[in-house]
Amino acid sequence: MKSPLLCFATMLLGASLASAQTAPAPATAPAAAPAGRAGGNARPPAPQRDPLTAGYVKATELPDGQVPPMEADGNFIIGPTHPAAPEMSPVAEGQPKGKVYTFTLDSADSKFYPGVERDEPAAGATPAGPNGTGSNHPKPYTRKVSVYVPAQYVPGTVAPVLITTDGDGRAHNVLDHLIPQKKLPVMIVVSIPPGGPDGRGGQRNLEYDTVSGKYSDFVETEVLPMAEKVANVKLTKDPDGRAVMGTSSGAAASMTMAWLHPERYHRVLTFSGTFTNNQWPANEEYPHGAWGLHETLIPNSPVKPLRIYIECGDRDNFGGDMRDWVVANENMAKVLAAKGYHYKFVFARNAGHTDRPTISQLYPTALQWIWQGYPIAGK
């Protein structure tokens, strides 16, 4: 076992109510969606969905180019054009900017994820069902984690934290803009990439699509202590001051982290969430993977203190039974509304899986929405 966990560190300059029916997949002619990262089997082209389809949640359709009101809960339809929010760009020269620190984790030091690589299927092999054929083999990895510290952070103070999957650093510019405006609290962002590629049996699939507390435990014990040490920050243990964010399977991981450990996280931000049965290998406790969140877990459990933002595109991924991303997100909105959660669901027209223009349009107001209710110093 190597010691310590830290291999190296460097500092860089830089970060309503819904219908109660399961939504059917319409039989309209398919319009190909951008390829998504989630999965491992080839998927058929994604059909273009109409958010007004019977059985989908009732939603407020906004004029093209507008985003949902920041304060509002509920269901909204946007698009078809998606102009980027100005906060996605760097702040002007001379304005305060956060710093980004990095460190590298080695799989040899991890008690949770020693590292695997997916075995490629034989040429011409017919894909199996969600939990069907798959295999992998050991393979070590390193992952480079980044920690964004805003210019307004006072060393030694305890700060709220946003955890992002896939090493996502899109929050950095947004925070540089909105923290000085007192629209967001002074928060740290810890961005964690997966330990390896995607696909059934791959490291990313293992970390993100497995419904268990393992990934949350990995973050809590092997990532956050190192983030505090390297960036010289103190992260709050108050779950109301901790948020998780992700896209695709990273969104499923984020939701699973908060659902299974609400004592750690109360705020969840997702885009094109893979709330589908993308789990491999099969898991007897949660046999339908993240599809089980809206199928049984949320509807059959007491309400948890979570605030949840979900988004999907009209051309989001489609892969058959329990692997329909649009229906999965529609079902999430339905069950969250039925249970009385604070949630926001955005259905984007003219948007594919993890659609970058759509995310760039929504990200600043989405981030403000999930942090609603959290105290902002000086406001």
Q: Is position 121 within any domain?
A: no
Residue 342 lies in domain: 9-116+135-370
**pLDDT, average across residues 176-183:** 98
Q: Is residue 189 very low, low, confident or very high in pLDDT (cuts 50, 70, 90)?
A: very high
For residue 101, the cross-strand partners are 11, 147
For residue 209, pLDDT over 50 is answered with yes
The more confident residue out of 318 and 136 is: 318
Q: Is position 122 within any domain?
A: no
For residue 36, pLDDT over 50 is answered with no
Q: Is residue 124 very low, low, confident or very high in pLDDT (cuts 50, 70, 90)?
A: low
Q: Is residue 50 very low, low, confident or very high in pLDDT (cuts 50, 70, 90)?
A: very high
For residue 106, pLDDT over 80 is answered with yes
Instruction: Kindly write down the DSSP assignment for every residue of 339-377, as one continuous string.
Output: HT-EEEEEEEEEEETT-HHHHHHHHHHHHHHHTTTS--T
For residue 35, pLDDT over 50 is answered with no
**pLDDT, average across residues 79-107:** 98
Give CA–CA dist 13/93, Å, rounded.
13
Look at 29-38, 115-124, 273-282 and tell me which has the smallest mean pLDDT. Answer: 29-38
Give CA–CA dist 345/332, Å, rounded.
9
- Give ∠ CA 81-85-91 in degrees, rounded to 5: 150
% the chain with pLDDT above 70: 85
Please state whether the peptide bond connecting residue 80 to the residue before it is cis, i.e. omega within 30 degrees of 0.
Answer: yes
Q: How many domains does the chain have?
A: 1
- For 8, other C-beta atoms within 10 Å of its C-beta total 9
**pLDDT, average across residues 151-172:** 98
pLDDT for 117 = 86
The CA–CA distances, whole Å, from 175 to 88, 135, 203, 244 equal 9, 41, 30, 15
Q: Is position 175 within any domain?
A: yes
Q: Is position 130 within any domain?
A: no
Closest listed residue to residue 330, CA positions, set 315, 349, 310, 350: 310
pLDDT for 28 = 37
Q: Is position 124 within any domain?
A: no
H or E, element range at 10? strand 9-13
Q: Is position 231 within any domain?
A: yes
**pLDDT, average across residues 214-231:** 98
Give CA–CA dist 281/129, Å, rounded.
11
For residue 257, pLDDT over 60 is answered with yes
For residue 206, pLDDT over 90 is answered with yes
- For 181, other C-beta atoms within 10 Å of its C-beta total 10
Give CA–CA dist 330/335, Å, rounded.
9
CATH code at 47? 3.40.50.1820
What value does the mean pLDDT of the chain take? 88
pLDDT tens digits, one per residue of 317-366: 998 899 999 999 999 999 999 999 999 999 999 999 999 999 999 999 99
Give CA–CA dist 366/1, Å, rounded.
41
Look at 31-45, 62-76, 97-111, 258-272 and tell me which has the smallest mean pLDDT. Answer: 31-45
H or E, element range at 190? strand 188-192
Angle, helices 356-370/171-178, rounded to nearest 10 degrees: 50
